[in-house]
Amino acid sequence: MIRQAKGKTPRRLPPKKASNSQKDPVGVYCRVRPLGAEDEECCIEVISNTTIQLHAPDGLKANRNGEFKETQYSFKKVFGIKTTQGELFEDVAKPLVEDIIHCKNGLLFTYGVTGSGKTHTMTGSPGQGGLLPRSLDMIFNSIGPYQAKRYVFKPDDKNGMEVQNQVDALLDRQKRDSQTTVPKTPTTRRIDPEFADMISPEEACKADGVDEDSSYIGCFAVPPQSKILREDQNHNMYVAGCTEVEVKSTEEAFEVFWRGQKKRRIANTQLNRESSRSHSVFIIKLAQAPLDADGDNVLQDKNQVNVSQLCLVDLAGSERTSRTRAEGSRLREAGNINQSLMTLRTCIEVLRENQMCGTNKMVPYRDSKVTHLFKNYFDGEGKVRMVVCVNPKADDYEETLLVMRFAEMTQEVEVARPVDRPICGFAAGRRQRNQAFKEELTRRLEERGGPLDGESPTVLNQLLQSFPPLPPCEISGPNDDVTLPRLIEALEKRHKIRQMMIEEYNKTANMLKSVLQEQDSNLLSKENFIQEQRGKLGEKDKMLQNQKNEIDRLEKKSKMLEYKIDILQKTTNIYEEDKRSLQHELESREQRLQREMSEKRRMEARMQGIVTDSKLKWEKECERRVNAKQLEMQNKLWVKDEKLKQLKAIVTEGKTENRQPQRPSREKDKVPAKRSASPSPVPTGPPVRPLHRRSHSAGGERWVDHKPNTNVDLDTVLQPNLPNAIKVNAPSEKALSKCDKYVLTHQEVASDGEIQTKLIKGEVFKTRGGGQAVQFTDIETLKQENPVAASRKRRSSETGPDGEPKEGDWTDVETRCSVAVEMRAGSNLGPGYQHHGYPKRRKP
């Protein structure tokens, strides 16, 4: 029992070692696709059915001083441009399909550059079905007559299968039939035109040696959104939480496959990526269970259920990220795909090193979901085969060279040969004997009596005909003593006949059972004899195999030494070439560095002169602006003082005229009266309740109301009102962090001497350093004026003929103060003052 610690992943038992120590290398095949155009340059030549040769294109030779040599690579088999899909399937995929029918796993994946024909090899097109549709067709052609009824096998959510009894399976089928959303499987199915005519009837094939005494089902896994991998009790990797779909025909399997392909295309379209830049994994699971001793039903024993799987993978295109010209999300997706392919190369390298050097390094299967899914196959749970697809065009030479090196390295990895799984000890031929028994029973029942009119000759009809008819059962009265005894007598006769039939049935069954047991014993003795002969033959084969393995080991060792010598020679040439190129690059970089240093010194000198000129220019500009600002402030201060003096003179003049009336002077002797620049004081009245003016900034946000202590309270009726505001004298980070808006109340003296209030508004936002900052967005100006005209004007006092003063024309302050005073430098009237007698412009 394995105990699971809380919060930790439970420790798994170590995988079982294969009892068979024999190993087979990974089968690597090569397929060359035709060129896109006849005049296109080619860089691949097929030498034989196992060897190809790569030669560098002319342009690449010119760039690399023409030092490239032709290189040859060997494979288990090479398929040229004239190879058909059927020929490829016969050599590559058909043995794997035969293995899955005989309870063995298999892995087949395609590898190559984008546009090399991987998807065509795996999927194909109408009329030219690839490896996947042909594998499905062969599986269902082989197990078609021996398939179990639907839902007899039920997934256990752990990559295994359980066997249900006939009643539970019937209930599940009825439940499925009642659901209208799940379409039934008709005998004549409408085939999707996208995968119609994939395989012609002439190309259909079956597997040999299918166990007739077993029942089969085929199913496919539909993965969920979260692809979490787990390991089952047979050390097979599977996607946890996936939904397994049971299929009964090639058409249903095609439909499941193309449904997944359409989802893949939609996802690639949404991610804006090419279809070849994503992996496509399709797992076929085949469950097999023996029939019981009677050969009628599936054996109700989970331990006797064998689940084998065939994994078909169309890997993404192997190419550098710079070659894809991807940007943004497509660039990140291409990086992830290249990372998974790099992890696959790393796993192959570690496996090869462990097998050749005797090391025990950990293989990084878990670094990628694709390699994690391949783990059990490389650990000896099935055969592994790879189809390398290449495009002979010269533009793909460098990418194809990397693919060839990976394929050459993969061929040197050996995988343990899968062990045959044990089968039940029942005698063979149970299905045929059961079928023969049913036919014989039906024949005998037909001989005893024919079927009723309009009924089929079933066992139930024969039994009903053999019983005597029942007498009338109606009772004539309470004193009727005939009907019941007659009925009892008839029932007793029928009971005796039933007992006789049961005894006859048991006698016949025992006799048939003894005959079957005798035949089983004879077959068992013959099988034991055959097994002994096979054991002796196996010993001979083992001796031959050991001798062959020794020869292969020596040949491989010799080949490896030659390979190492070749690698060392190539490495030496590469290092010499790299040394020359690096020296040339170093010289060119030194020259470029010297040019850049001289250019840098020139730029520094130039920038120093520009900085000096700019510094002098800005110093002069700052000095000019300071002088102008000082002059402006002195002007404003003098204007304010002069206005106060004029106001005082006007008040004093009014009092003097009331006491000492003057005689009217001539028009030319009149001097323009001066008036104050500020309005007359407003007479005080009863206290007015202060009203608040709603600011333009009022809203649902929270404000920081910044009012400095130097501001003057004007006692105006309308005041800015900011509800839900934090009032501060100086801004603080704490107050700014609690609000969304900021307003500063600023006061200054206007040109007419009045106090002008400005509301400077802004928005508060957070900075990267965690502080607060204000961005000013608006300025609102508030100005106080007296709307009463009488306070801004006064009547001129004139003396009448009788010496009494009389009312003159209304004259405003601007008319009386017709002479403006302006500050000028170098004046004799004081520190920087000078009069100019031009009339001041009236306000409109």
- Interatomic CA distance for residues 224 and 656, integer angstroms: 105
Question: And the tokens for 672?
Answer: 């323009």
Q: Residue 394 contacts by C-beta under 8 Å, 6 or more apart in sequence?
A: 40, 41, 42, 43, 57, 59, 60
Q: Residue 272 contacts by C-beta under 8 Å, 6 or more apart in sequence?
A: 329, 330
Considering only CA atoms, which of 319, 291, 165, 184 is closest in space to residue 248? 184
Q: Is 124 annotated as a binding residue?
A: no
- SS3 label, residue 279: coil
Q: Is 114 annotated as a binding residue?
A: yes
Compute the CA torsion angle 114, 117, 118, 122 (nearest 10 deg). Answer: 160
Q: Is 129 annotated as a binding residue?
A: no
Helices then strands, counting H and E runs in the chain, come out as 16, 30
Q: Which residue has the tokens 């390398």?
A: 388
Question: Would the CA dihedral through 238, 244, 249, 251 be positive or negative?
Answer: negative
Q: How many CB atoms lie within 10 A of CB 256?
A: 17
Could you tell me if 133 and 141 are in contact, meaning their C-beta atoms sit under 8 angstroms apart? no
- Interatomic CA distance for residues 88 and 76, integer angstroms: 13
Considering only CA atoms, which of 820, 823, 818 is closest in space to residue 834? 823
Residue 699: φ, ψ to 5° = -175, -165
Residue 706 CB-density burial (10 A; 0-12 exposed, 13-18 middle, 19+ buried): buried
DSSP result, 705-744: EE--TT------S--EE-TTEEEESS--HHHHHT-SEEEE
- The pairs formed by 5-12 with CB atoms below 8 angstroms and a separation of 24 or more are 12/231
- Interatomic CA distance for residues 220 and 253, integer angstroms: 8
Measured at the alpha carbon of residue 67, what is the angle toward residues 65 and 73, in degrees to the nearest 5? 140
Q: How far is CA 414 from the centre of its chain?
A: 34
Q: Is 113 annotated as a binding residue?
A: yes
Measured at the alpha carbon of residue 714, what is the angle toward residues 709 and 717, in degrees to the nearest 5? 130
Q: Is 112 annotated as a binding residue?
A: yes
Could you tell me if 333 and 277 are in contact, meaning their C-beta atoms sit under 8 angstroms apart? yes
Question: Helices 430-448 and 459-466 sit at what angle, rounded to 10 degrees?
Answer: 40
Could you tell me if 215 and 146 are in contact, meaning their C-beta atoms sit under 8 angstroms apart? yes
Residue 324 CB-density burial (10 A; 0-12 exposed, 13-18 middle, 19+ buried): buried
- SS3 label, residue 535: helix
Q: Is 749 annotated as a binding residue?
A: no
Q: Is 322 annotated as a binding residue?
A: no
Considering only CA atoms, which of 746, 751, 699 is closest in space to residue 721? 699
Q: Is 558 annotated as a binding residue?
A: no
Could you tell me if 198 and 131 are in contact, meaning their C-beta atoms sit under 8 angstroms apart? no
Q: How far is CA 272 from the centre of its chain?
A: 12
Residue type, 238: Y
- SS3 label, residue 93: coil
Residue 305: φ, ψ to 5° = -90, 125
Considering only CA atoms, which of 667, 678, 681, 674 is closest in space to residue 653? 674
Question: Helices 329-357 and 397-410 sit at what angle, rounded to 10 degrees?
Answer: 40
Q: Residue 8 contacts by C-beta under 8 Å, 6 or more apart in sequence?
A: none
- Strands 128-129 and 153-155, bridge-based pairing: unpaired
Task: Output the known binding site.
Answer: 112-119
Task: Output the known binding site for ATP.
Answer: 112-119
